[in-house]
Copies of this chain bind each other. A is one copy, B any other.
Amino acid sequence: MGYPMAGHLARHFTTAVWNRTPEVAARHAAEHGTRQAASIPDAVGADIVFSCVPTSREVNLLVDAALPALRPGSLWVDCTSGDPTMARATATRLAERGVTYLDAPVSGGRPGAESGTLSVMVGGDAAALERARPAIEAFSSRIVHVGAVGAGHMVKSVNNALMAVNLWAASEGVLALERGGVDLGAAMEVINASSGRSFATESLLAAGLGPDELQPWFKLALLHKDTAIASDVARNAGQPAPFLSLIVDMLGAARAGLGGEPDYRAIPRALRAWQKGILGRS
Protein backbone atom coordinates (compact mmCIF):
# COMPACT_ATOMS: atom_id res chain seq x y z
CA MET A 1 0.00 0.00 0.00
CA GLY A 2 2.72 2.43 0.99
CA TYR A 3 4.47 2.20 -2.34
CA PRO A 4 1.80 3.86 -4.49
CA MET A 5 0.86 6.23 -1.66
CA ALA A 6 4.42 7.54 -1.55
CA GLY A 7 4.33 7.84 -5.32
CA HIS A 8 1.36 10.22 -5.10
CA LEU A 9 3.10 12.21 -2.36
CA ALA A 10 6.15 12.62 -4.57
CA ARG A 11 4.11 14.32 -7.26
CA HIS A 12 3.48 17.27 -4.94
CA PHE A 13 6.18 17.17 -2.26
CA THR A 14 9.87 16.46 -1.83
CA THR A 15 9.76 12.90 -0.57
CA ALA A 16 12.31 10.56 0.98
CA VAL A 17 11.50 6.85 1.16
CA TRP A 18 12.78 4.20 3.53
CA ASN A 19 11.81 0.55 3.19
CA ARG A 20 12.93 -2.51 5.10
CA THR A 21 14.08 -3.88 1.75
CA PRO A 22 16.47 -1.28 0.23
CA GLU A 23 15.76 -2.54 -3.30
CA VAL A 24 12.15 -1.45 -2.93
CA ALA A 25 13.14 2.07 -2.00
CA ALA A 26 15.64 2.14 -4.86
CA ARG A 27 12.96 1.09 -7.32
CA HIS A 28 10.63 3.73 -5.91
CA ALA A 29 13.29 6.38 -6.38
CA ALA A 30 13.75 5.31 -9.98
CA GLU A 31 10.05 5.25 -10.72
CA HIS A 32 8.83 8.26 -8.80
CA GLY A 33 11.84 10.51 -8.35
CA THR A 34 11.91 10.11 -4.59
CA ARG A 35 15.11 10.12 -2.56
CA GLN A 36 16.09 6.72 -1.15
CA ALA A 37 16.85 7.26 2.53
CA ALA A 38 19.94 5.47 3.77
CA SER A 39 18.40 4.73 7.13
CA ILE A 40 15.35 5.44 9.21
CA PRO A 41 16.92 8.53 10.79
CA ASP A 42 17.84 9.75 7.32
CA ALA A 43 14.15 9.50 6.31
CA VAL A 44 12.41 11.21 9.17
CA GLY A 45 13.81 14.74 9.26
CA ALA A 46 10.81 15.95 7.27
CA ASP A 47 7.90 18.25 8.11
CA ILE A 48 5.57 15.29 7.85
CA VAL A 49 6.58 11.66 8.37
CA PHE A 50 4.27 8.95 7.03
CA SER A 51 4.40 5.34 8.25
CA CYS A 52 2.56 2.43 6.67
CA VAL A 53 3.51 -0.97 8.11
CA PRO A 54 1.67 -4.17 9.06
CA THR A 55 0.96 -3.54 12.76
CA SER A 56 1.57 -1.11 15.61
CA ARG A 57 4.47 -3.26 16.69
CA GLU A 58 6.40 -2.29 13.58
CA VAL A 59 5.40 1.35 14.17
CA ASN A 60 7.02 1.10 17.59
CA LEU A 61 10.22 -0.20 16.05
CA LEU A 62 10.21 2.68 13.56
CA VAL A 63 9.70 5.21 16.34
CA ASP A 64 12.52 3.65 18.36
CA ALA A 65 14.90 4.19 15.46
CA ALA A 66 13.50 7.55 14.39
CA LEU A 67 13.12 9.35 17.69
CA PRO A 68 16.50 11.09 17.90
CA ALA A 69 16.26 12.28 14.29
CA LEU A 70 12.74 13.71 14.43
CA ARG A 71 12.29 17.48 14.12
CA PRO A 72 10.35 19.17 16.93
CA GLY A 73 7.20 20.65 15.46
CA SER A 74 6.88 18.00 12.80
CA LEU A 75 3.92 15.64 12.29
CA TRP A 76 3.88 11.83 12.22
CA VAL A 77 0.98 10.46 10.19
CA ASP A 78 0.59 6.74 10.77
CA CYS A 79 -1.37 5.02 7.99
CA THR A 80 -0.94 1.58 9.57
CA SER A 81 -4.09 -0.29 10.59
CA GLY A 82 -3.02 -0.22 14.18
CA ASP A 83 -3.97 -0.59 17.79
CA PRO A 84 -5.55 2.44 19.49
CA THR A 85 -3.98 1.74 22.88
CA MET A 86 -0.52 1.46 21.37
CA ALA A 87 -1.21 4.58 19.31
CA ARG A 88 -1.89 6.59 22.45
CA ALA A 89 1.41 5.45 23.93
CA THR A 90 3.20 6.33 20.69
CA ALA A 91 1.59 9.76 20.67
CA THR A 92 2.87 10.37 24.19
CA ARG A 93 6.41 9.34 23.25
CA LEU A 94 6.37 11.57 20.19
CA ALA A 95 4.87 14.50 22.09
CA GLU A 96 7.82 14.43 24.47
CA ARG A 97 9.97 15.08 21.40
CA GLY A 98 7.62 17.85 20.22
CA VAL A 99 6.16 15.75 17.42
CA THR A 100 2.40 15.42 16.91
CA TYR A 101 1.00 12.00 16.08
CA LEU A 102 -2.06 11.35 13.94
CA ASP A 103 -3.41 7.84 13.33
CA ALA A 104 -4.66 7.81 9.76
CA PRO A 105 -5.46 4.33 8.51
CA VAL A 106 -6.73 4.06 4.98
CA SER A 107 -9.44 2.15 3.18
CA GLY A 108 -9.78 1.34 -0.49
CA GLY A 109 -7.22 -1.36 -1.04
CA ARG A 110 -4.55 -1.47 -3.69
CA PRO A 111 -6.85 0.02 -6.36
CA GLY A 112 -7.58 3.03 -4.15
CA ALA A 113 -3.89 3.42 -3.36
CA GLU A 114 -2.94 3.36 -7.02
CA SER A 115 -5.60 5.81 -8.10
CA GLY A 116 -4.97 8.07 -5.12
CA THR A 117 -8.58 7.82 -3.96
CA LEU A 118 -8.20 6.19 -0.57
CA SER A 119 -10.52 7.00 2.30
CA VAL A 120 -8.59 8.13 5.36
CA MET A 121 -10.00 8.06 8.89
CA VAL A 122 -7.99 10.32 11.15
CA GLY A 123 -7.62 10.37 14.91
CA GLY A 124 -5.80 13.14 16.72
CA ASP A 125 -5.60 16.90 16.99
CA ALA A 126 -7.81 18.71 14.49
CA ALA A 127 -5.31 21.53 13.88
CA ALA A 128 -2.57 19.02 13.18
CA LEU A 129 -4.86 17.33 10.67
CA GLU A 130 -5.30 20.68 8.89
CA ARG A 131 -1.53 21.00 8.57
CA ALA A 132 -1.30 17.43 7.24
CA ARG A 133 -4.35 17.62 4.99
CA PRO A 134 -2.61 18.86 1.81
CA ALA A 135 -0.18 15.95 2.00
CA ILE A 136 -2.86 13.36 2.79
CA GLU A 137 -4.92 14.69 -0.10
CA ALA A 138 -2.17 13.54 -2.43
CA PHE A 139 -3.46 9.98 -2.10
CA SER A 140 -6.97 10.42 -0.70
CA SER A 141 -10.33 11.56 -1.97
CA ARG A 142 -12.02 11.44 1.42
CA ILE A 143 -10.55 12.48 4.75
CA VAL A 144 -12.74 12.11 7.82
CA HIS A 145 -11.69 13.32 11.25
CA VAL A 146 -13.19 10.75 13.60
CA GLY A 147 -11.89 11.75 17.04
CA ALA A 148 -8.88 11.81 19.34
CA VAL A 149 -5.67 9.82 18.91
CA GLY A 150 -6.59 6.16 18.38
CA ALA A 151 -10.03 6.90 16.95
CA GLY A 152 -8.80 6.33 13.41
CA HIS A 153 -7.53 2.88 14.33
CA MET A 154 -10.76 2.15 16.16
CA VAL A 155 -12.91 2.99 13.15
CA LYS A 156 -10.64 1.09 10.78
CA SER A 157 -10.65 -2.03 12.94
CA VAL A 158 -14.44 -1.96 13.19
CA ASN A 159 -14.78 -1.47 9.45
CA ASN A 160 -12.55 -4.44 8.78
CA ALA A 161 -14.31 -6.58 11.36
CA LEU A 162 -17.65 -5.82 9.70
CA MET A 163 -16.22 -6.80 6.33
CA ALA A 164 -14.98 -10.05 7.85
CA VAL A 165 -18.32 -10.81 9.52
CA ASN A 166 -20.22 -10.00 6.35
CA LEU A 167 -17.96 -12.21 4.24
CA TRP A 168 -17.97 -15.06 6.72
CA ALA A 169 -21.75 -15.10 7.17
CA ALA A 170 -22.34 -14.80 3.43
CA SER A 171 -20.01 -17.74 2.87
CA GLU A 172 -21.97 -19.82 5.36
CA GLY A 173 -25.19 -18.91 3.62
CA VAL A 174 -24.31 -19.46 -0.01
CA LEU A 175 -22.40 -22.67 0.69
CA ALA A 176 -25.43 -24.01 2.53
CA LEU A 177 -27.61 -22.99 -0.41
CA GLU A 178 -25.26 -24.65 -2.88
CA ARG A 179 -25.38 -27.90 -0.95
CA GLY A 180 -29.19 -27.51 -0.81
CA GLY A 181 -29.34 -27.51 -4.60
CA VAL A 182 -29.22 -23.78 -5.39
CA ASP A 183 -26.91 -22.61 -8.12
CA LEU A 184 -24.19 -20.48 -6.51
CA GLY A 185 -24.31 -17.82 -9.21
CA ALA A 186 -28.07 -17.45 -8.89
CA ALA A 187 -27.88 -17.25 -5.11
CA MET A 188 -25.28 -14.49 -5.30
CA GLU A 189 -27.23 -12.63 -7.99
CA VAL A 190 -30.34 -12.56 -5.81
CA ILE A 191 -28.53 -11.58 -2.65
CA ASN A 192 -26.63 -8.82 -4.43
CA ALA A 193 -29.99 -7.45 -5.61
CA SER A 194 -31.54 -7.75 -2.14
CA SER A 195 -31.20 -6.61 1.43
CA GLY A 196 -28.52 -9.15 2.35
CA ARG A 197 -25.96 -7.54 0.07
CA SER A 198 -22.72 -6.01 1.22
CA PHE A 199 -19.34 -5.02 -0.12
CA ALA A 200 -18.30 -8.52 0.83
CA THR A 201 -20.97 -10.21 -1.30
CA GLU A 202 -20.45 -7.81 -4.19
CA SER A 203 -16.68 -7.66 -4.33
CA LEU A 204 -15.10 -10.54 -2.43
CA LEU A 205 -17.33 -13.58 -2.34
CA ALA A 206 -17.12 -14.71 -5.96
CA ALA A 207 -13.32 -14.76 -6.01
CA GLY A 208 -13.26 -16.57 -2.70
CA LEU A 209 -15.62 -19.25 -3.97
CA GLY A 210 -13.94 -19.60 -7.33
CA PRO A 211 -11.14 -21.95 -8.27
CA ASP A 212 -8.42 -19.43 -9.04
CA GLU A 213 -5.40 -18.83 -6.89
CA LEU A 214 -5.93 -15.63 -4.93
CA GLN A 215 -3.39 -12.89 -5.50
CA PRO A 216 -2.01 -11.73 -2.15
CA TRP A 217 -4.02 -8.58 -1.47
CA PHE A 218 -4.33 -8.54 2.29
CA LYS A 219 -3.17 -11.26 4.65
CA LEU A 220 -5.84 -13.07 6.60
CA ALA A 221 -3.45 -12.86 9.55
CA LEU A 222 -3.67 -9.06 9.46
CA LEU A 223 -7.46 -9.13 9.21
CA HIS A 224 -7.43 -11.47 12.20
CA LYS A 225 -5.41 -8.89 14.11
CA ASP A 226 -7.84 -6.14 13.10
CA THR A 227 -10.83 -8.10 14.37
CA ALA A 228 -9.13 -8.61 17.71
CA ILE A 229 -8.64 -4.84 17.96
CA ALA A 230 -12.30 -4.24 17.11
CA SER A 231 -13.42 -6.72 19.73
CA ASP A 232 -11.27 -4.94 22.29
CA VAL A 233 -12.81 -1.62 21.29
CA ALA A 234 -16.21 -3.11 22.11
CA ARG A 235 -15.07 -4.61 25.40
CA ASN A 236 -13.49 -1.36 26.50
CA ALA A 237 -16.77 0.34 25.64
CA GLY A 238 -18.87 -2.03 27.76
CA GLN A 239 -20.68 -3.03 24.56
CA PRO A 240 -21.72 -6.68 24.40
CA ALA A 241 -20.60 -7.60 20.89
CA PRO A 242 -20.94 -11.33 20.27
CA PHE A 243 -20.36 -11.07 16.52
CA LEU A 244 -17.22 -8.98 16.89
CA SER A 245 -16.00 -11.56 19.40
CA LEU A 246 -16.85 -14.63 17.39
CA ILE A 247 -15.22 -13.42 14.20
CA VAL A 248 -11.87 -13.28 16.01
CA ASP A 249 -12.06 -16.95 16.91
CA MET A 250 -13.41 -18.01 13.55
CA LEU A 251 -10.66 -16.23 11.64
CA GLY A 252 -8.22 -18.02 13.91
CA ALA A 253 -9.79 -21.35 13.04
CA ALA A 254 -9.80 -20.44 9.34
CA ARG A 255 -6.11 -19.55 9.39
CA ALA A 256 -5.32 -22.87 11.02
CA GLY A 257 -7.47 -24.77 8.54
CA LEU A 258 -6.14 -23.05 5.43
CA GLY A 259 -2.52 -23.28 6.43
CA GLY A 260 0.25 -21.23 4.88
CA GLU A 261 -0.26 -17.47 4.71
CA PRO A 262 -3.63 -17.12 3.02
CA ASP A 263 -5.23 -14.03 1.56
CA TYR A 264 -8.33 -12.86 3.41
CA ARG A 265 -10.57 -13.68 0.45
CA ALA A 266 -9.91 -17.34 1.15
CA ILE A 267 -12.44 -17.25 4.00
CA PRO A 268 -15.13 -19.03 1.95
CA ARG A 269 -12.64 -21.79 1.22
CA ALA A 270 -12.15 -22.50 4.90
CA LEU A 271 -15.90 -22.89 5.27
CA ARG A 272 -16.20 -25.08 2.20
CA ALA A 273 -13.49 -27.34 3.61
CA TRP A 274 -15.54 -27.70 6.78
CA GLN A 275 -18.60 -28.74 4.81
CA LYS A 276 -16.66 -31.23 2.74
CA GLY A 277 -14.88 -32.58 5.81
CA ILE A 278 -18.19 -33.37 7.47
CA LEU A 279 -19.69 -34.90 4.40
CA GLY A 280 -16.58 -36.98 3.85
CA ARG A 281 -16.12 -35.80 0.30
CA SER A 282 -12.85 -34.75 -1.20
Chain A interface, number of residues (Cβ within 8 angstroms): 88
Q: In the complex, which residue of chain B has the Cβ closest to the Cβ of A84?
A: B180
**Complex alpha-carbon distance, A235 and B194, angstroms:** 23
Contacting pair A276 B249 (CB below 8 A):
no
A250 close to B (CB within 8 Å)? yes
Q: Per DSSP, are chain A's interface residues mostly helix, strand or loop, or mixed?
A: helix
Report chain B residues within 8 Å CB of A186.
Answer: 144-147, 155
A162 CB to closest chain B CB, in angstroms? 3
Give the oligomeric copy count: 4
Contacting pair A243 B162 (CB below 8 A):
no
Contacting pair B277 A257 (CB below 8 A):
yes
A187 close to B (CB within 8 Å)? yes
Contacting pair A252 B240 (CB below 8 A):
yes
Q: Knowing A195-B159, A196-B160 are in contact, say whether A238-B278 is a contact too (CB < 8 A).
A: yes
Report chain B residues within 8 Å CB of A236.
Answer: 176, 180
Known: A172-B243, A175-B237, A176-B236. 11 other contacts (CB 8 A): A119-B193, A121-B190, A145-B186, A155-B177, A163-B194, A179-B238, A195-B199, A197-B198, A198-B200, A240-B275, A242-B250
A interface list, Cβ under 8 A from B: 84, 107-109, 119, 121, 142, 144-148, 151, 154-155, 158-163, 165-166, 168-170, 172-183, 186-187, 189-191, 193-201, 203, 228, 230-231, 233-250, 252-253, 255-257, 259, 271, 273-279
